[in-house]
Amino acid sequence: MPEPRIDLDSILKIERNKRKKLVPLENDFYEKVAGQIRKLEDEKRKIDDPYGTKYAMLDDSLKTTRKAIDSIIYNRTTKIIQEARHTAEIAYLHGSSDDMGESLDSMTLEEQKFYNSIVELMTGYRQELAYKIFNKTSVIETTHSSPQPEKHEKSENIPIKHKETLPEEGKPEEGKKDISKDYMLVRLLKDIPTFVGADGRNHTLMKEDVAVLSKVNADALINRKAATQIPVKR
């Protein structure tokens, strides 16, 4: 038995009336709509007379369906972005957000993935700005927004090529804590403007440089795909 046709016009009408809330949709909603469009296209191709009434009706139905689903996607995307912005703000201020169960249940699988990626992106963006302005979280800061320290020491670049082990001078001195807990060996994937590291030093890094950086700065660079960690064997 063929599946009943999805009434996209009714869904769009409710979606517009709800304003802020999402109309609950099944996880495979978009797959079903895609199947519905393909079925109309197949029926249209089987008609020999492109000037006949049936052909015109199917063509009109296809146009209406595509227009309706496009409007549904637009309306829902706008709402999802607003939900994600709200959740990211709560997560930034309070560390987590536990009030999104109902909204997530209303989303399709594709929408949930989109929502989660937007939350992650917005949360990282808020943390980055907060660090630059208030020094509140762990991302790197450029020298354009901070005073220069008294010492102008260059980054702890390790002058080795294609070697993935710490040099002798990079080993922790006796009596000090394990450097691997607070520092990380990385290889730069792109040029990085001078910035003040968590260690209070100026760092100027170029693509392909190998450097020992504080874990805070190294993680920030890795998250930005500007660096990759070099595993250190013990």
Each residue of 172-194: pLDDT tens digit? 444 444 555 678 888 889 888 77
Contact 107, 25 (CB under 8 A): yes
Q: Write out the residue range of the structural domain in which residue 39 sits.
A: 8-134
Query: Tokens 């015109």 belong to which residue?
Result: 56
Look-up: residue for tokens 């991302």? 139
Sign of CA dihedral 92, 95, 101, 102: negative
162 backbone φψ class: left, alpha, beta (φ>0; ψ -120 to 50): left
| pLDDT band, residue 233 (cuts 50/70/90) | low
Q: How many CB atoms lie within 10 A of CB 28?
A: 13
Residue 18, amino acid: K
pLDDT in tens, 206-221: 888 888 888 888 888 8
Domain limit, last residue, from 74, 101, 134: 134
> Are residues 192 and 88 both part of a single domain?
no
**Partners of residue 2 on adjacent β-strands:** none
C-alpha 128: how far from chain center:
14
Are residues 20 and 104 located together in one domain of the fold?
yes
Report the run of H or E that residue 113 belongs to, with start and end.
helix 109-134
Do 49 and 91 belong together in one domain? yes
> Tokens for 40?
């109309």
Q: What is the pLDDT of residue 225?
A: 87
pLDDT attached to residue 26: 92
Residues 12 and 126 in one domain: yes
For the chain, the domain total comes to 2
Percent of the chain past pLDDT 70, that is, above it, reads 73
Identify the DSSP state of 129.
Answer: H
pLDDT for position 234: 55
Return d(Cα 158, Cα 226) in angstroms, integer: 17
| CB atoms closer than 10 angstroms to residue 197 | 20
Q: CA torsion sign, 186 to 187 to 188 to 189? A: negative
Q: Do the domain assignments include residue 3?
A: no
Element (H, E) at 205: strand 202-205
Identify whether residues 26 and 111 lie together within a single domain. yes
Give the CATH number, domain containing residue 190.
3.40.5.50
* CA–CA distances in Å: residue 187 to residues 56, 168, 182: 62, 18, 17
65 within a domain of the structure (yes/no)? yes
Q: Of 234 and 156, which is predicted with more confidence?
A: 234
Residues 146 and 128 in one domain: no
pLDDT digits (tens, 9 = 90+) for 105-164: 899 999 999 999 988 888 888 778 877 887 654 444 433 334 444 444 444 444 433 333
Domain of residue 71, CATH code: 1.20.58.1030
Q: How far, in Å, CA of 134 to CA of 137, rounded?
A: 8
Name the residue with higher pLDDT: 227 or 145: 227
